[in-house]
Structure 1
């Protein structure tokens, strides 16, 4: 008889500190409100290690199209970006026409 309440080992490794931080920051940047206003404030949490936070700051400072301001009062950072140009936006299949015809699918 199988024991209830025991977790099955799915074989997945726990996330590293940098992976957790990257997922949190990515989620904040991709949030619909942040995308609409084109800026976000990211606060450093107690669980964010010094090495991970410095690595994040380095990665963000090297990213084209992002303006980063370090807020010394609370160790947060403010990221701002411009609206993507038409060339940078993903193509919507409904906008594509081939020789004046709608796509065959």
Structure 2
């Protein structure tokens, strides 16, 4: 009689709240509109644990290329300058984009 190979079922790993928040913030920063205007406003959701929010905001604030503005309503606006290919920041009149609210 042939033996049947019974492999253990693949266990699906749940994302932590910190991972979900980090992914959401990363997606917002990398959104094409945010990349064009070089800023994005991030809001803490009810589902975001305070400790996770503080950790992600701490990581962002430690990034020298980012400028964070904390608002009274709890939102955080992240701004950055466009970098040339050699890593030097620049801004000219042609680079200025009229600010409009991002769709998130």
TM-score range, shorter chain: 0.7 to 0.9
Q: Which 4+ stretches in 1 moved above 2 angstroms?
A: 9-12
Structure 2 residue 28 is the aligned partner of structure 1 residue 62: no
3-state SS of the aligned residue for 1:58?
A: helix
Gaps of 5+ in 1: 1-8, 90-105
Structure number with greater CO (CA < 8 Å, separation at least 6) is 2
Question: TM-score scaled by structure 1?
Answer: 0.72
Q: 3-state DSSP class of the match of 1:85?
A: coil
Aligned residues: 80
Structure 2 residue runs of 5 or longer lacking an equivalent are: 1-8, 89-104
Q: CA deviation at 1:88?
A: 3.3
Q: Cα distance, 1:81 vs. partner?
A: 0.1
Q: TM-score, normalised by structure 2?
A: 0.72
